[in-house]
Amino acid sequence: MSALVKNGDLVPNCAGEVTKAQAVAAMIAVGISPSMVIISANGNFDHLPEPKVRGGSYEVFAASARNGAFTKMELDAAMDHFDFEIPAGYGPTDFGTNDVNEAKRPKDCQGDDAITFMFEDFGTPQGQQALLSM
């Protein structure tokens, strides 16, 4: 989905949201096979309530901050909101992701390591006790 947005094939509204119908149309327009379009669209949207809109993630993430800043605990809570541990074969599709498919994950890498390392490096003071302003 992000590649479609980056290439201008899928244009979110001003709140950063896209509908399932928009995503389907964009995938078909760029030549993705109909069967893969259905699998991808269903996996990305069918667990959502009507009107099947994705986006606005920044607001959900930012809501975990307190007084305009994140501590490590609040950052973890924000990441957990988006971290779905549904193994391949048990979720909306039979396709795993880098988050849960150990064979695809780089060695010695957890899914949230990059965000945690950035938090610890850019926060004040540096380290696990950092505070990171929004």
Query: Does the pLDDT at position 98 exceed 60?
Result: no
Contact 1, 24 (CB under 8 A): no
What is the reported pLDDT for 16?
73
> Which residues does 54 contact at the CB level (< 8 Å), separation at least 6?
1, 17, 18, 20, 23, 44, 45, 48
Summarised one tens digit per residue, pLDDT across range 29-78 is 999 999 989 988 888 888 777 777 876 666 667 777 888 888 888 887 77
Q: Which of 101, 14, 6, 82 is nearest to 44 (CA)?
A: 82
pLDDT at position 56 is: 65
Cα gap 32→124, rounded to integer Å: 45
| Residue-wise pLDDT tens digits, 45-56 | 887 777 778 766
pLDDT confidence tier of residue 21, bands split at 50, 70 and 90: very high
87 versus 62: the higher-pLDDT residue is 62
pLDDT at 93: 46
